Amino acid sequence: MKLWGGRFKNAESKLMEDFNSSLSFDKTLYYEDIIGSIAHVKMLSKCNILTEKEKETIINGLNEILSEIESGKLKLEGDYEDIHSFMEVNLIKKVGEVGKKLHTARSRNDQVAVDMRLYSKSKSKEIVENIDILLKTIKKIADENHVIMPGYTHLQRAQVVTFTHHMMAYHSMFKRDKQRLLNAIEIMDENPLGCCALAGTTYNTDRHFTTKELGFKKPVDNFMDGVSDRDYLLELISDFSIIMMHLSRMSEEFIIWNSKEFDFIYISDEFSTGSSIMPQKKNPDAAELIRGKTGRVYGNLMGLLTTMKGLVLTYNKDMQEDKEPFFDASDTVLKCLKVMNGMVCTLKIKKEKMYKAVKKGFLNATEGADYLVNKGMPFRDAHGVIGEIVLYCEENDKAIEDLQIDELKKFSDLFEIDIYDFIDYENTLNRGIKKEM
Ligand code: ARG
């Protein structure tokens, strides 16, 4: 069932019909399509293009369709070109001839554009809410675990940090992600309804009315841009990609920390799976899947950027390819945020294991050098002296603070008893990270 055909002599090939149809995926937009149509019909009546009675009949019909879809009575399937044709044909079936007036002063080009704006705006707000939940969870686990751990560069133990500080680094990342999404929502919050096919309509319509009805900030400035702009989807998927990149880094940390080699954390059974052959295995699949799904979100971004590249104004059917990447990217990021939140909520920190790694890692070596500098030695020489001490400690399986003062004095007579306080891990933290917080 199509909305066109008058100018055609021959029927469309079945193959082409299948190829062209988008209902299997744009059915996701059923709700936005209906509320967009209701706002449009209200506007038509306000502008005296439809009578009050016609408006009522159409709106009632659309509301019935909505409840039938939601109750499962009306299935979003069948021989329709897209969700827009589905709605119009079903409306005509329901309310008769007057249903044919719904599409007055509108094209599917501005219709699909308004549907996607509404859908992507509300989905992005849902993602923002889920970032907020994750932010709270990260803050909570950070606050509850003021535990000393090694901080890394090059994945080599570098300096002592706290689990709190490490987690709050991710808090900063997700806070920026939230802001980025809010900015994108602010920019895209414009109404394309009324642009019609590409150049507006001869009817005296009111774009400000539908803008208000649908909760947009303003109507788009330019009709041709209004029907062919997909920047907002690209911007949102870019933001989703950055969120996924952050989630993947966090996942990778958890995977490493959960390994027996590190053994810093315990990922709960709820977010782990087993092996079908190796009974001893408990795998961090949730974290691995988040890391893996990052690739498909990047893929969606690349796909849509490539679809849009070089497209002349205005609407081209290529743009129908904007939906699946956006749906997939937004669903994926939402699910990953929820799973990450669940995993962080149930994470257990192995305080002793972290402390042991700090001791084994000579994480107060830099502070040892700073001590000698404070006593008057040039930094480069102090670096050399501490390097020799580290070598000696490694050979004797000791930490710097385990050496007696006489042993230390063999390397430099600047060492006094206050060295132990100076290189104490808590004290180094207090002079470093903590003083900045
Ligand atoms: N299914 C189409 C899409 O998603 C709707 C717009 C169709 N417009 C047209 N002129 N054929 O882009």
Whole-structure pTM value: 0.94
User: 141 pLDDT exceeds 90?
Assistant: yes
C-alpha–C-alpha distance, residues 84 and 22, integer Å: 10
User: 134 pLDDT exceeds 90?
Assistant: yes
Q: What is the pLDDT of residue 3?
A: 77
The CATH label, of 3.30.930.10, 3.40.50.300, 1.20.200.10, 1.10.760.10, for the domain at 117-148+163-188+227-350 is: 1.20.200.10
Q: How far is the CA of 323 from the centre of ligand 1 (A)?
A: 11
- Give the number of other CB atoms < 10 A from CB of residue 189: 15
Least confident of 22-36, 42-56, 277-291: 277-291
Average pLDDT over residues 365-393: 96
Both tokens of residue 280?
A: 């001893």
Q: How far is CA 218 from CA 13, 45, 111, 186, in A?
A: 42, 21, 16, 11
* Ligand 1 near 50 CB (within 6 A): no
Q: What is the pLDDT of residue 211?
A: 98
C-alpha–C-alpha distance, residues 373 and 25, integer Å: 67
Q: What is the pLDDT of residue 271?
A: 85
Are the CB atoms for 101 and 58 separated by under 8 Å? yes
Q: What is the pLDDT of residue 275?
A: 74
Long-range CB contacts for residues 117-122, cutoff 8 Å, separation at least 24 = 117/188, 117/190, 117/191, 117/192, 117/216, 117/232, 118/32, 118/35, 118/36, 118/214, 119/28, 119/29, 119/32, 120/188, 120/232, 120/233, 120/236, 120/326, 120/330, 121/185, 121/188, 121/189
Catalytic residues: 154, 275
Q: What is the pLDDT of residue 86?
A: 98
> Each residue of 52-99: pLDDT tens digit?
999 999 999 999 999 999 999 999 999 999 999 999 999 999 999 999
CATH of domain 362-436: 1.10.40.30
* Ligand 1 near 22 CB (within 6 A): yes
Q: Which of 169, 145, 153, 162 is nearest to 266 (CA)?
A: 145
Q: Which residue's entry shows tokens 């879809």? A: 69
Side chain identity, residue 336 = C
* Ligand 1 near 320 CB (within 6 A): yes
Higher pLDDT, 428 or 243: 243
Q: Give the N- to C-terminal CA distance of the chain in Å, as an integer.
A: 64
**Closest atom of ligand 1 relative to the 323 alpha carbon:** 4
* Ligand 1 near 164 CB (within 6 A): no
CB contact set of 125 (below 8 Å; sequence gap of 6+): 185
Give the residue, out of 7, 21, 27, 82, with the most ligand 1 atoms within 8 A of its beta carbon, to mutate for a pocket test. Answer: 82
Least confident of 216-220, 251-255, 268-272: 268-272
CB contact set of 365 (below 8 Å; sequence gap of 6+): 386, 389, 390, 400
Architecture of domain 14-104: Orthogonal Bundle (1.10)
C-alpha–C-alpha distance, residues 59 and 90, integer Å: 13
Domain locations in the chain as residue ranges:
14-104, 117-148+163-188+227-350, 362-436
The C-alpha angle 258, 261, 265, rounded to 5 degrees, equals 25
* Ligand 1 near 108 CB (within 6 A): yes
Q: How far is CA 148 from the centre of its chain?
A: 30
Task: Spell 88-122 as b/e; 16+ CB within 10 A means b.
Answer: bbbbbebbeebbebbbebbbbbbbbbbbbbbbbbe
Both tokens of residue 167?
A: 């987690």
β strands within 260-328, DSSP E:
265-266, 273-274, 282-283
Q: What is the DSSP letter of 190?
A: E
What is the pLDDT confidence band of residue 436, given thresholds at 50, 70 and 90?
Answer: low
Q: How far is CA 208 from CA 194, 211, 218, 221, in A?
A: 9, 5, 7, 12
> Each residue of 324-346: pLDDT tens digit?
999 999 999 999 999 999 999 99
C-alpha–C-alpha distance, residues 55 and 98, integer Å: 9
What is the pLDDT confidence band of residue 190, given thresholds at 50, 70 and 90?
Answer: very high
Are the CB atoms for 33 and 83 separated by under 8 Å? yes
C-alpha–C-alpha distance, residues 175 and 193, integer Å: 33
Q: What is the pLDDT of residue 437?
A: 65
User: 435 pLDDT exceeds 70?
Assistant: no
Q: What is the mean pLDDT of the chain?
A: 95
* Burial (CB count within 10 angstroms: exposed 0-12, middle 13-18, buried 19+), residue 435: exposed
Task: Spell 243-259 as b/e; 16+ CB within 10 A means b.
Answer: bbebbbebbebbbbbbe
Average pLDDT over residues 290-304: 98
> Each residue of 199-237: pLDDT tens digit?
999 999 999 999 999 999 999 999 999 999 999 999 999
SS3 162: strand
H-only helix segments in 47-153: 52-71, 83-95, 108-144
User: 119 pLDDT exceeds 90?
Assistant: yes
